[in-house]
Amino acid sequence: MSHMGGLSRAAALAGVAALLLAAGCAVQPPRPPEPAPAPTAISPPPATTPETPETPATPAAPLLRPRARWVPVDWSALPGLADDQPTALWPALRAGCAKPAPGWAEVCARALAFNPPDETFAWQFLQRELQPYRLEALDGSADGLATGYFEPLVAASRQPQPGFTVPLHRPPADLATRKPWYSRQQIDTLPAAQAALRGNAIAWVASPLDALLLQIQGSGRLRVTEPDGRVQTVRLAFAGHNDQPYKSVGRWLIEQGELKPEGASWPAIRQWGQQAGATRLQQMLWANPRVVFFREEPLPDERIGPRGAQGVPLTAGRSVAVDPMAVPYGTPLWISTTEPLSATPLRRLVMAQDTGSAITGAVRIDYFWGPGELAEQQAGRMKQPLQAWALWPRQPDGR
């Protein structure tokens, strides 16, 4: 997938598995504490067994958004709360509060004032401050889809040389004035398109499959060899695309009879591309006319993820891409899905901090797995059933 955010990679296409194709027990949570003391005086509550919080005297009303209906529920309706450690949400929550959603300023100010000392304290803070809402489509359906994405790490060279012949480009100078810009096939065949990109290469990678993966993800990391022989890791951030429609290469391979629908994961597509002849591989690439352009950013801390559409760094395992017409950026979510390789329940708190053109609808997320080989395996195969709940600040009357 490729995420298309305002500041970085954010998503130009969508979750790896879905974009390539597209085309338990309820544990009762803790009782809310008395109003919290000033941040400087916060102390942890005693460790207790989670209890159901009291229902506000005035129930919250349903909320309607352009592509979703939010139905208020009790915290006890969220499945598997004991499966997660809410303290692990705080780095992503603090990142999201750097650009808080409308109505979040006061809650963010309180959340930024401390790091929760234990899980009970974190649960109590969240349940005192936030009202859960079941996410539903406008037709009332609460069942949806979870896909995954990750940050690739690709070897590259600053200069074209044997083994590194596929360029990654910055946006061309006329990108804003020529819409749509040249298609992928035109870039490969038309002298005018090639002239417009001359001098714009950031680096060269070994395979068009590496370039395609970076474009599908919308960002990534390059382990690049400099002309003087030094090797450094830099980040490629999303900087625009050619305004051509995205066409799924996975769907093309299915239609061509090359892959079965149930087997069209990114690992399978990569394997097919490595075994296909040059002409057949080119046909697959040209089936998707969209091309993504990048900008280079330093990577002083490899623990920091790329920036999503909210404009804040993504946190592996805690950031998701959403449809902003259904869920505003900066919204915490409780998700209930499964891991792709083991079908192990995946129930946890996450933050809505990114989007993608294939991430549409109320109950739809793209789960950010982070960098690395395991993240690639998980993201490339993730296409799981999903239910989700949005957590939104309670109103002054407790609703």
- Tens digit of pLDDT for each residue in 12-43? 444 554 445 443 333 333 444 444 333 333 33
Contacts of 396 (CB under 8 A, 6+ apart): none
Q: What is the pLDDT of residue 300?
A: 85
pLDDT in tens, 280-300: 999 999 999 999 999 999 898
Closest of 264, 294, 282 to residue 151, by C-alpha: 294
Q: How would residue 170 be classed by pLDDT, with cut points 50, 70 and 90?
A: very high
Q: What is the pLDDT of residue 107?
A: 97
What does the block give as tokens for 41?
């005086």
Q: What is the pLDDT of residue 3?
A: 54
Continuous H helices in 311-393: 373-381
Continuous H helices in the chain: 16-21, 90-96, 105-111, 119-129, 184-189, 191-197, 208-217, 249-255, 266-275, 278-286, 373-381
pLDDT in tens, 185-219: 999 999 999 999 999 999 999 999 999 999 988 88
Report all structural domains of the chain as residue ranges with CATH numbers, in order of start: 151-297 (2.40.240.50)
Q: What is the pLDDT of residue 13?
A: 43
What value does the mean pLDDT of the chain take?
A: 87
- Tokens 């329940």, residue located: 345
What does the block give as tokens for 118?
């234990």
